[in-house]
Amino acid sequence: MAPELPGFYYDEVKRKYFKIQANHQASQQAKYTQDDVKRRKLDTAESQRAAAMNDRQTKERVRRSRLLTSSSNRLLEELGSLSLSHDDMLSRRGIQCASEMSRKTLYDYGQTAPMHSIFDVHRDSRYVANFSKGSHVSVCYPVEDEHSRWQYSPESQVYYWQTPFLDPCCSSISPTGHALTGLFDHQGSELRIFQIPPPDDGGKYLRPECPTVHLLSIGNNLPRVATPLSTGTVPIFAIGLQSGLNLLTPSPDGWTDLRPLGTSPTRTNRSARRNKSESTSDTDVWAAEFLTPNTIAAGGKGKSVFLADARTSADGAVACKYGALVTDIKAIDEHRIVVGGTGRSRGPNRADVEHVVTYDLRYKKESNGKTVPYRQYPGLNFAPPWPRFDVCPELGLLATVNRAKRPCFMSLTTGQIVETPAGESDQTGKVKFDRGHDDPQWRGPRSHSLLVSTQGAIHEWS
């Protein structure tokens, strides 16, 4: 700082000394009169005091700990003073849960893994149902030993069938314990349905010696997807076939009520202008999801997602135009869906590209013939041939398999990758969220967890 000289004022901007003029002698254009200099000194002192106060507030302010907004205690929400938005709170909760996950093996086939290459897995409060590529379906029950109540033993399995010449296409289990799987070979396709019995009054697990399996032949109509209704006491399945979307419900004669539902009106209008083979492939349904007990979102080779009414066979309504083959649909709620698929990239080096987006069916905007998604997930290369993923709305997480065949998480609110310390699993087949149960007989974690199926083992991230 320049020294102060009597009768002179030092201008910090111009870096020069100026003589202070008397008020009665200075002209109207003078800038360094006695009053002007006095005002300049007051302004400088005020700005210095403000800067010093800001510096003190920055250094001495006691900030709220991030622990108060973590998902482990949620103190702000309990006290009614939540200062974060719902999306921010959901994002932090998902990051916190993902950072605390650890990996353990539920059961492993060991050396017989090539014979039991796992196609899909489902978990209930009593068992783990395994659908293998070797065309056998088995149910693995927990170990009865109280010290090993979190483990499953391959010796406790019950095989419901084993057909080495049929390949599985889809599988699912309803909340009522009814399991369905779709099989096919060169002679035709069929659906197999069986019920896993509940435990008795004493909590013992019932292992049927001769399980009853219902068969439903569907000819050469290849089954693509089977989705159960997650509510109610009656098992209802939405079945995606090459011929379109169907609804399977139990009947007095067994499982014979396979009713076709409406297709997308865009495919119906175009079918008159196309040949028979093109219109047939255009109705091929690869993905289906219940939004409500009466509304089903489905998609496939029609390159769009349409809504079908489970109460009628009338044509559905186009919900959004995806622009590529739709291979999977997961519902966040009755308005928001996550859609995954694969298509050809543009440019001279055309290649298959897998991508996942989120749509809000209430707010739709189209651009270049496609519906604009409100959330995308860039920064991740999904495993070919198409994305395999599951969503957990309660945690705001999307679990998927990357190109290295390892499971990873992404945030539903930000679309960014979420880091996790859980061990990495090579050759991951599918990932599926398990939302936990309040059943006292439940042999697993009470909170949300992730089931990861590899070639011959099932792992749990919790």
Name the residue among 218, 197, 213 with its Cα closest to residue 135. Answer: 213
This prediction's pTM: 0.75
- Using CA atoms of 52, 54, 56, 61 in order, give the dihedral in degrees to the nearest 10: 170
CA distance 407 to 103: 12
Task: Give the pLDDT confidence score for residue 279 in this predicted structure.
Answer: 45
Q: How many Cα atoms occupy the beta-carbon half-sphere of 456 within 13 Å?
A: 11
Name the residue among 96, 99, 92, 72 with its Cα closest to residue 420. Answer: 99
- For the record, the structure tokens of 18 come out as 């100026």
Q: Give the DSSP per-residue string, 207-244.
A: --SS--EEEEEEET--EEEEEE-SSSSS--EEEEETTE
- For the record, the structure tokens of 36 come out as 């002007």
H/E stretch holding 58: helix 34-60
- For the record, the structure tokens of 289 come out as 């999801």
The tens place of each residue's pLDDT in the chain, 462 residues long, gives: 688 888 888 888 888 888 888 888 888 788 888 888 898 889 889 999 999 988 888 788 776 655 555 555 556 566 666 566 777 778 878 888 888 888 888 777 665 555 556 777 777 656 666 666 656 677 776 666 655 555 676 666 777 766 666 677 888 888 888 888 888 877 788 898 888 777 666 656 666 666 778 888 898 888 999 999 988 889 999 999 988 999 999 988 888 888 998 776 654 444 444 444 444 457 889 999 999 999 999 999 888 999 999 988 888 889 999 989 999 999 999 999 999 998 765 555 555 567 899 999 998 888 888 899 988 888 777 777 788 899 999 889 999 988 888 888 999 988 888 887 666 666 777 888 987 666 665 656 667 888 888 877 788 888
CA distance 135 to 213: 14
Name the residue among 126, 127, 235, 122 with its Cα closest to residue 168. Answer: 122
